[in-house]
Amino acid sequence: MTRRFLVTVIVTLSLTVSAAFASEAADHPIIGRFDGARLFHQEVSRFGQYTLTVGEEETVRVEGEVWMTLYNAPDDSSTFSVYSTYRSFLEAEGFEILLSYRPGDAPRGFLKEVYDRTRFANNRNLQASAPITNGSNSMAAYLAARRDDAGGTIYVSIAIAAGWYSYPQYKLDVVQTGGDRGRIVSTGTRTEPDTADAAPAPPREDPTADPVAPSADPVARSEAPRRLLSGSGSFRIRSGYAGFLFIDPAIAGVIGEQSGGDPIEVEAGNEGFKNVHGPFVEAAWFMNRNVGLTAEFSRLASDVSFTAGGVTYTSRNEMVLARAGLLSRMVGSDYPSTIGVGFSGGVAITSFVIEQQASGSHVYTRAEDVFPVLSGSAELVVPVVGFAALTAGFEYLFIPADKLEFRTDGTNNTMTFREPNLGGISLRIGLVAEF
């Protein structure tokens, strides 16, 4: 048997990641970070406008010094622990709670509406917005609060989400009214001396911060019992299309046996196992940042032509696969793309219909069987917009089939093919939605 591998596959990937701010960042002096959280992005305005969400459809426009900071919560935290800790802290510090949604209580898409009213000026290629706007609705939480001080009023908004990464993330916004509006510097001869020293704007980034150390003024971590998955789980649906990469005969090129006759050698046609393709759909639950459980259904179909003993055979093949397994992935720290490797096992339900053509006659022979299947895969997932992403990868199917037994319609004749080659390497492309 001669197999021809005629296709060489080359995949080139290029990702561009935006550079981080050069200056250091700092926690707000009154409202610190959750213990162990890491500062990911920060924008500060000495005087600006801010739209505070205080109801499902109610907002308040305030002016003052505006701090907006995105934090990565610790891997072992949950959105509930972040929510409950900040609520307890705010109440203890004399803040009035204006709006409070526990995880799962917020209306669907609520955090996206909150973020759209108070967007970062630098979105960092969706890295600063996607964690909040595309997290899991079942884990989304929100707090809004205010406190009157001698120098003005302090407003706080905390949008807490999980599901984009395996750890929770939250956007902490603090607005202090009564701040310095700035001044116009005149170039005329009557310019008065500029005696006031304007306080420098707080820095923006924290590239040197210890990723696990708390800030100087942290919010104490809640000691409330955490759920098993600590709010870090995520659910993914992937759907796409797969096609075999190499020309590889399915039945041709093996030794066949016919009932009542001598064994014959089956010769592979030049076309071989061509046009093997079909759809697939996968559901995956990621227990943490790197490991998930997968379940997949897929269908592969093809036409095979070969010649044996002067008879032309046309085989229409269909295979339905049901599998479950494990997927391990690496998540980018600066860009939310992932590279994953998976292993799974299951069953392959096969159906073959062979049409034999000789001297103008047509005879149909059929075979159906169920085989075990093992597979290994490698994938790349790149976010496109919102919670949607593109995926591309390779999969190797190993189907240890010992034989296929065919029966001819209207007769007792049988034909057995030994060691049929049903597996192979396929290229898979598709779309991913992760919640």
Shared domain check, 244 and 378: yes
C-alpha 165/C-alpha 40 separation (Å) is 13
Residue 160 counted as domain residue: yes
Q: Is pLDDT at 415 greater than 80 in this prediction?
A: no
pLDDT of 17-26, one tens digit each?
A: 232 333 467 8
Mean pLDDT, range 245-271, rounded to an integer: 47
Residue 205 counted as domain residue: no
pLDDT of 206-216, one tens digit each?
A: 444 443 333 33
Shared domain check, 170 and 306: no
Pick the last residue of a domain from 176, 198, 217. 176
Shared domain check, 172 and 247: no
- Provide the token pair at 412: 């007792």
pLDDT of residue 40: 87
Residue 56 counted as domain residue: yes
Shared domain check, 399 and 291: yes
- Concatenating the DSSP letter of every residue in 120-139 gives -S--TTTTTTHHHHTS-GGG
> Strand ranges (DSSP E) for 332-423?
338-358, 361-385, 388-398, 403-408, 414-418
Residue 253 counted as domain residue: yes
Q: Is pLDDT at 386 greater than 70 in this prediction?
A: no
Mean pLDDT, range 341-347, rounded to an integer: 95
Q: Is pLDDT at 196 greater than 80 in this prediction?
A: no
The total domain count for the chain is: 2
Q: CA triplet 12, 273, 369: central angle to 5 degrees?
A: 115
Residue 227 counted as domain residue: no
Mean pLDDT, rounded, of the chain:
75
Name the amino acid, one letter, at 102. Answer: R
pLDDT of residue 352: 84
pLDDT of 49-96, one tens digit each?
A: 999 999 988 999 999 999 999 999 998 899 999 999 999 999 999 999
CA nearest 338: which of 382, 395, 388? 382
Residue-number span of the structural domain to which 110 is assigned: 38-176
More confident residue, 196 or 53: 53
More confident residue, 425 or 189: 425
Pick the last residue of a domain from 176, 193, 209. 176
pLDDT of residue 335: 53
Say which range, 149-158, 258-267, 283-292, has the weakest mean pLDDT. Answer: 258-267
Q: Which residues are bridge partners to 382 per DSSP?
A: 390
Shared domain check, 278 and 171: no
Q: Is pLDDT at 11 greater than 50 in this prediction?
A: no
Residue 14 counted as domain residue: no
Greatest pairwise CA separation for the chain in angstroms? 116
- Provide the token pair at 177: 């009214």
Pick the last residue of a domain from 157, 176, 195. 176
Shared domain check, 275 and 163: no
218 in Cβ contact with 172 (< 8 Å):
no
Shared domain check, 238 and 146: no
CA nearest 230: which of 82, 366, 355? 82
Shared domain check, 169 and 239: no
More confident residue, 225 or 350: 350
Distance of CA 284 to the CA centre of its chain: 10
C-alpha 256/C-alpha 51 separation (Å) is 76
131 in Cβ contact with 161 (< 8 Å):
yes
pLDDT of 241-253, one tens digit each?
A: 988 775 444 444 3
**Is-above-0.75 flag for pTM?**
no
- Provide the token pair at 73: 């919560």
Residue 226 counted as domain residue: no
pLDDT of 129-138, one tens digit each?
A: 777 877 777 8
C-alpha 274/C-alpha 303 separation (Å) is 7
> Strand ranges (DSSP E) for 205-337?
234-244, 255-258, 264-265, 267-286, 291-308, 311-331
H-state helical runs in 32-175: 79-92, 110-117, 130-133
Shared domain check, 240 and 131: no
Element (H, E) at 66: strand 59-72
pLDDT of residue 181: 63
N- to C-terminal Cα separation, the chain: 48
Residue 80 counted as domain residue: yes
Shared domain check, 422 and 309: yes
Shared domain check, 379 and 312: yes
CA nearest 114: which of 191, 41, 53, 181? 53
For residue 308, give Cα distances in angstroms to 227, 362, 381, 412, 430.
63, 15, 45, 20, 39
- Concatenating the DSSP letter of every residue in 231-242 gives T--EEEEEEEEE
Mean pLDDT, range 279-305, rounded to an integer: 86
pLDDT of residue 317: 82
Shared domain check, 170 and 241: no
